[in-house]
Amino acid sequence: MASDLEIANQATLEPIEAIAWKLGIPADSLYPIGKHMAKITWPSLKESFGKSQGNLVLVTSVNPTPFGEGKTVTTIGLTQAMNRIGESATCVIREPSMGPVFGIKGGAAGGGMSQVLPMEEINLHFTGDLHAVTSAHNLLSALMDNHIKQGNDCKIDTTRVFWPRVVDLNDRTLRQVVVGLGGPANGVPREDRFDITAASEVMAILVLATDYADLRRRLGEIVIAQSLDGKPVKAEDIGAAGSMALLLRQALLPNLVQTLEGDPAFIHGGPFANIAHGNSSIVGDRFALGVADYVITEAGFGSDMGAEKFMHIKAAQSGKAPDCVVMNVTVRSMKLHGGAFGEKGGYRPTKEELETENVEALRAGAASNLDRHIRNMSGFGVPVVVSINRFASDTDAELDALRELALASGASSVCLTEVHAKGGNGGTDLAKAVVSAVQDHIANGRPFTPLFNKDTHFVEKAEAIATRMYKADGLDLEAKAKKQIAQIESWGYSHLPICMAKTQYSFSHDAGKLGAPTGFTLPVKEFRLNAGAGFIVAILGNMMTMPGLPKVPAADDMDIDEDGNLLGVFG
């Protein structure tokens, strides 16, 4: 099979106006960026918010493995398949961060016959949204340090500054830095840190804001530091929120592109799910739901990460819960979680080992890891359709066992999906199963049931997620976290949702604990208040908010020729 880049380069793209028209979006509702990308204008967004809303399908996955489970491929392929069976469908997915693009992933626009295009632009800079977030975030940093230098009217305690700087790259050397060196002309020296842009509170605000007024308000509510008298200092207090909002004016508008098969697709926002809330934008969803009958969206990493945060953070703020959850799984991932390649998953099997039939290990993995994911999602009152992303080496015995165990765990249906190799035609069974599940849910479904109500104390929310979704024995609060609880309570934020920042590879905080671990406590290193975004981040274990590059980064294989054509990029 040709590489992803070769397949993308062979595609004939339609003008973006023609793509928009498939959803009834007129040309004057577009702000074109070249021939094949566009933003939706604000007047059109406002008009769509009053329309009746379609059905929302959330694609999630088991805990990811080094082999890749193809969740984005499934999301795009399902969108194509929905259109192939005659439904009006589109997807809303996240924008790639250049950190993973140049680090491990090498691209995040799907793959094979299920891609979003133009793939090169989407993976590299796209429409500039992540740059706008980076600039708005760092503008606040600069204004804050300038405020301190120019008299510090807000009496910011320079040893109690919470606001970091960000960059849209993996750069571990920036995790802890000192700024302001070189004498008084360069400001006041203090410790600082860099996070990756995808973890920025500004990114979270962008995807959770419902309109410009809400965006502006949330930016003003960002707590940047503590004053010398123990009070929170906000972005509004130093006059930063208005100028930050200006930088995000175009970034708030969703981006329209197309799938490989010419179906409309929206890409907007890019928070990671392991260190942020891992979902695309509310305005993107609302617009898509106003112009299509089915909207397929994707939550980052496994269901214990992005999907849980969709239920407790995004749905709580948007008012729209999923009508169906698609659980993406592979035979090879269940064999790993069943111990086929080592008890801790650190061993990288050869291609032969990976493709050798092992029904026993698959059963062990599915009976633990997949079972917990399905039961967790079903507990929210939403039907779960399991999509087995099929690989050529999967045997009938393995596929039969996986189907049997998924149904036993409570899946409403189980489908084999081959959208990577066949595009939309490889996902028609899945599309029909999703339509059936949504219709049954609307007719007979249970009410949406989060784990707690919105006014529950944030520590109790963290405990509920830890004990009921991860099956931990409880929380182990470190000294720093305990102090932060008292501070957050005194400032009046104890009711906010919780965003768990932990490894994506396990239900626990330990990436080496495969399957469905029990008998552990969850260490909480610190709580970070994201008052503008409207949640509190719990940093669990050794989780880092600035990733590092691997020994051989994907960037090593990237180049251009004398005509500017990409070489060796994204597969």
Q: What is the CATH number of the domain that holds 96?
A: 3.40.50.300
Which CATH number covers residue 473? 3.10.410.10
Q: What is the mean pLDDT of residues 257-262?
A: 98
Task: Note whether residue 203 is domain-resident.
Answer: yes
pLDDT for 106 equals 65
| Phi, psi angle pair for 168, to nearest 5° | -90, 55
The domain total for the chain is 3
Domain boundary at 444, 476, 492, which? 444
Q: What is the mean pLDDT of residues 189-217?
A: 96
The shares of helix, strand and coil residues in the chain, as percent rounded to the nearest 5, are: 40, 20, 40
pLDDT digits (tens, 9 = 90+) for 278-290: 999 999 999 999 9
Q: What is the mean pLDDT of residues 472-484?
A: 97
Residue 26, class by beta-carbon neighbours within 10 Å (0-12 exposed, 13-18 middle, 19+ buried)? exposed
- Alpha-carbon span 156 to 162, nearest angstrom: 11
pLDDT for 552 equals 86
Relative orientation angle of helices 282-291 and 42-49, to the nearest 10 degrees:
70
Q: What is the mean pLDDT of residues 129-152?
A: 97
Q: Are residues 59 and 148 in the same domain?
A: no
Instruction: Look at residue 184 and give its three-state secondary structure.
Output: helix
Q: Are residues 514 and 528 in the same domain?
A: yes
Residue 344 binned pLDDT confidence (cut-offs 50, 70, 90): low
Structure tokens belonging to residue 163: 């606001």
Domain assignment of residue 506, given as a range: 458-540
Residue 346 binned pLDDT confidence (cut-offs 50, 70, 90): low
Q: Are residues 308 and 438 in the same domain?
A: yes
**Quick check: 322 and 56 in contact, CB under 8 A?**
yes
Task: Note whether residue 547 is domain-resident.
Answer: no
Q: Are residues 260 and 369 in the same domain?
A: yes
Task: Note whether residue 45 is domain-resident.
Answer: yes
DSSP per residue, 77-95: HHHHHHHHTT--EEEEEPP
pLDDT for 570 equals 64
Q: How far is CA 447 from CA 223, 306, 323, in A?
A: 35, 21, 10
- Alpha-carbon span 453 to 433, nearest angstrom: 31
pTM over 0.75: yes
**Residue of 271, 175, 204 whose CA lies nearest to 531:** 204
- Alpha-carbon span 190 to 176, nearest angstrom: 11
- Alpha-carbon span 431 to 445, nearest angstrom: 19
Q: Are residues 214 and 260 in the same domain?
A: no
| Phi, psi angle pair for 455, to nearest 5° | -95, 0
Domain boundary at 415, 444, 473, which? 444
Res. 503: pLDDT tops 80:
yes
Domain boundary at 413, 444, 475, which? 444
Q: Are residues 142 and 91 in the same domain?
A: no
Task: Note whether residue 550 is domain-resident.
Answer: no
pLDDT digits (tens, 9 = 90+) for 3-59: 888 898 899 999 999 999 999 999 999 999 999 999 999 999 999 887 888 999 999
